[in-house]
Structure 1
C-alpha cells in the first residue's frame, strides 16, 4: 500500500493506492487523473479533468518512518530559478 498525495488547484489530498509493482511517473499521473475523475480523491471530483493535466507536474517518492511508500504529485515550482 502506498499513499499518493495530489496537489492541484490550491488543494492537496492523500489517497491510499494499492500498487502491484513499481510504477513510472507517467503511470502516477494517469492514476491521479483517474482517481480525480472518479471522485476517489477527497475534495476533488472533476469528471472532465483532461488526460494531460499533470503532464508537467513533478513526481517525488519517499519512504515514511515505517518504510511505507509516499508519492507526491505536485506542480513544479520556480524556486532557485534565474
Structure 2
C-alpha cells in the first residue's frame, strides 16, 4: 500500500489552497512555467553556441598546422581576438 491515498492528497491540496490562495498559486505556476521555458531556451542557445565555437575553432587549427609545416609558428589566439 502507498503512503498517501487519494483522500490524503485532496485534503493536502485543500489546505495548500487555504494557506496560499488561488491567486498566489496561479502566480507561482506562471513563474515556474516561465522558468522552465527560459531553461529550455537557454539549453538550445547553448547547443548553438557550442556548435558555432567548434566550427570556428576548426579553421584556426588548420592554419596552425599549415604554418608548422613551413617551420614557422603563429599565435592563433592573437589572430582570433582581434
State which structure, 1 or 2, has the greater radius of gyration over its C-alpha atoms.
Answer: 2
Higher strand fraction: Structure 1 or Structure 2?
1
> What TM-score bracket applies, with the shorter chain setting the length?
under 0.3
TM-score normalised by the chain length of structure 2: 0.25
- In terms of fraction of residues, the more helix-rich structure is 2
